[in-house]
Amino acid sequence: MNQWRSPTAEEIYKNEPHLNCRSAGTGAKARRRVSLKDLQWADLVVVMEWKHRERLMADFREAMRHKKVEVLEVEDRYRFMAPELVEELRAVLDPILR
Report the C-alpha gap between 7 and 81 in whole angstroms.
8
What are the φ and ψ backbone dihedral angles of 43, each rounded to 5 degrees?
-85, -30
What is the span of the domain harbouring residue 23? Answer: 5-97
Supply the DSSP string of 35-54, one letter for each residue. Answer: -HHHHHH-SEEEESSHHHHH
Average pLDDT, the chain: 95
User: How many structural domains is the chain composed of?
Assistant: 1
Q: What is the pLDDT of residue 67?
A: 96
Residues sharing a CB contact under 8 Å with residue 36, sequence separation 6 or more, in sequence order: 60, 63
Question: Average pLDDT for residues 19-25, to the nearest whole number?
Answer: 95
Q: What is the pLDDT of residue 26?
A: 94
Containing 86, the helix (H) or strand (E) segment is helix 83-97
Give per-residue pLDDT as tens, 72-83.
999 999 999 999
Give per-residue pLDDT as tens, 36-53.
999 999 999 999 999 999
